Amino acid sequence: MDFPLANTYGARSELFLQSADDYHRQRHRINKRLNKLRRNLNIVTKDTKNYKEKCKENTISAENYDMDTAFGDLSLYQIERDLLYAQETRLLLDVHTSKSKERFLVSKYKKALKNAHHLLSVIANEQDQYKVLEILTYTAIIDGSLAVTKRKYGDALYSFSVARCSLQFLYTHQNLPAAFTKELYYDIIDLVVDPALKVAALQTKSSTISDLAQLSKEQVFSNRGKLSYLSKAIQIVEKEGPSYITPSNEEESEVLREITWSSYTAKICSNEISLAIMKANEELKQVVDSDTSSYDSALMSYLDAISFQEQEMERSEADADDAESQEQHIVLTYLKYNYLLLRIRRDIAIMKDLDNKAMAKNNLSRQKLLELWKDYLKVNDSILDSFNEVKELPGIANDDDIMDMIITLDVYFQIKKQMKLAQAYLISNGYVASLALVSNCNDLIESVKPFSNADELKGNLPKNSDIEDLKVKVNEEKSKLFILASYFKDNGESAPVGSKYLIDEVKKFPEYSATQLLENIAPLKVDFEPVNVKPVLFDIGYNYIKYEGVGERHFSKKNTDEPMRENVSDDSIDRKKGGFFGLFGR
């Protein structure tokens, strides 16, 4: 009995009841639960012949409930059993109409409403006002369903309006157990209340049928004394949240009716979404670019507005035409676009804080510096992910100005990421890797287009001047790293950054012993290696200079079957030696 709507509609939603047979089986489960409760409470009526006279359930009072809340559960499940029977009958009527079944349906709703009134008298002393409000909401739904069945649409409009306002109030204030979520209240609105409200509004020719939230507030506000037993529900809601039953007056308060974004204009379908957007825009004005904590309220407000818009789109998906659906998608894209840009601005502020933290400490160790830069790169990756989400939003690809701006910002932060990686390689003496990253940055920045519309860049988003500054920095780093990579090894033995020799770091005095100090003052030991020289000139001269007294030259025999001539004349030898390299004079 702690959560009446969760124990009834919540149990139904968990079982995914669809057909008449599903409701029939659930009704039998409730019957078994009722029999168990009767036995536990010792109120079983054995004299079935005189059941109406001797039935103990009709004599349950507030005193019984004060002693044991299970008496309230008994009445609640009796109502639920009748409603399940009514829903089962309604589904059968959809297949085959029958006057007898229609009368039976009305009788079940009447019986459920009678038991609901009895339950309200039983819980008269209940201190938990949210529990009482759930019972009153349950009763309002029964009363509205009976009125629709009897075609009394004016009464149905009021009852379902009370139920809708109460469910919205419960969504904000009631805390459900872990087994259920607050979406249960909106599920009841979407599946039970709103369809009946639309039918009643059409039959009564209401002027605000397009905005059911406004319609329900108007009905509750103007007819609050129409049903006395529902007046308590209005009092509970009005005490803690009067805005849930007070219709908005356009003359007294300006409500945002449409939004203009890029080249699109779209109408806002409900006051609830309008107020959420206005709240998000007001929170946005309170954001301070350098204060990372100031972004939280605005980000949460945009998320709430996105959630309201998505829920509204799900509700009206079946009834909305193409034009209305397109306008709703424009509003959703507008909210997501502003949320993502604000999240990017928050991440930029975090990156600047990390940079300032690294620069503020001169004697920061390499490990600590690398840890800070690792966090920096994580935030940078988050920014790049946000840009990818922006590119995937509907309509962004069709807007050339916004798309060019997003691409430029995306490339800008890709360069920032690679420049930070290059710095990390630099302090680790990885000059070649650092130079490769900076060279790639140079190629990227040459292709960056300047922003055509600087007015779109709000807050701390990069401007054209930031792109120019980054271009200068990339060129400077490239020149410096080219020199370092050309003259120093990657292993750090001769590197001026992080060198082991004292002469390269005169401001630091490491904890060396006397022997280690002498060995590491400067690189005194230089190893020379001999270079093998080939006597090229001697080879050239040997081919054409004739040495006297040497005698005949002997040639080795070739491994062929034909023997070489043994007697070679001196003239033929001289003739073969003639000419430069033996090529000329033959």
Instruction: Give tens-digit pLDDT for 28-75.
Output: 999 999 999 988 888 887 766 776 667 777 788 889 888 888 888 999
Question: Any idea which residue has 């003052």 for tokens?
Answer: 521
Residue 170: which of 83, 233, 247 has the closest Cα? Answer: 233
- Give the HSE-up count for residue 468: Cα atoms under 13 Å, Cβ half-sphere: 5
- Integer CA distances (angstroms), 138 to 58, 162, 569, in order: 20, 10, 132
Whether residue 364 has pLDDT greater than 80: no
Sign of the alpha-carbon dihedral angle for 211, 217, 223, 225? positive
Average pLDDT over residues 397-422: 89
Q: Is the pTM above the cut of 0.95?
A: no
Q: Which pLDDT band, with edges at 50, 70 and 90, does 515 fall under?
A: confident
Cα Rg, the chain, nearest whole Å = 44
| Higher-scoring residue by pLDDT: 296, 584 | 296
Backbone torsion region of residue 314, taken as left when φ is above 0, otherwise alpha when ψ lies between -120 and 50, otherwise beta: alpha
SS3 call for 50? coil
Q: Which pLDDT band, with edges at 50, 70 and 90, does 207 fall under?
A: low
Burial 377-401, CB ≥16 within 10 A → b, else e: bebbeebbebbeebeebebbeeeee
Q: Which pLDDT band, with edges at 50, 70 and 90, does 542 fall under?
A: low
Predicted local confidence at residue 545, as pLDDT: 56
- Please state the three-class secondary structure of 263-316 as a single string: CEEEECCCHHHHHHHHHHHHHHHCCCCCCHHHHHHHHHHHHHHHHHHHHHHHHC
Predicted local confidence at residue 509, as pLDDT: 60
Residues 6+ apart with CB under 8 A from 271: 211, 213, 214, 248, 255
Average pLDDT over residues 378-388: 93
Strand duo 258-261 + 264-267: pairing: antiparallel
Instruction: Give tens-digit pLDDT for 284-314.
Output: 888 888 888 889 889 988 998 898 888 888 8
Whether residue 548 has pLDDT greater than 80: no
Q: Are 228 and 214 in contact (CB under 8 A)?
A: no
Q: Are 268 and 331 in contact (CB under 8 A)?
A: yes
Instruction: Give tens-digit pLDDT for 428-460.
Output: 878 888 888 888 898 888 888 888 776 667 788
Q: How far is residue 32's CA from residue 80's CA, in Å, rounded to a whole number?
A: 13
Q: Are 340 and 389 in contact (CB under 8 A)?
A: yes
Q: Are 26 and 85 in contact (CB under 8 A)?
A: no
Residues 6+ apart with CB under 8 A from 478: 435, 438, 439, 442
3-state SS of the chain: helix, strand, coil percent to 5? 65, 0, 30
Q: What percent of the chain has pLDDT over 70?
A: 77
Predicted local confidence at residue 88, as pLDDT: 93
Neighbours of 39 (CB within 10 A): 10
Instruction: Give tens-digit pLDDT for 236-252.
Output: 998 888 888 888 664 44
- Integer CA distances (angstroms), 358 to 39, 158, 361, 365, 461, in order: 73, 64, 6, 10, 21
Q: How far is residue 484's CA from residue 432's CA, in Å, rounded to a whole number?
A: 9
- Integer CA distances (angstroms), 401 to 343, 395, 408, in order: 21, 12, 11
Q: How far is residue 512's CA from residue 521's CA, in Å, rounded to a whole number?
A: 11
Residue 60: which of 2, 107, 1, 120 has the closest Cα? Answer: 120
Q: How far is residue 70's CA from residue 7's CA, in Å, rounded to a whole number?
A: 13
DSSP secondary structure of 123-163:
TTT---HHHHHHHHHHHHHHHHHHHHHTT-HHHHHHHHHHH
H/E element holding 259?
Answer: strand 258-261
SS3 call for 231? helix
Q: What percent of the chain has pLDDT over 90?
A: 26
State CA 416 to chain mean position distance: 24
SS3 call for 258? strand
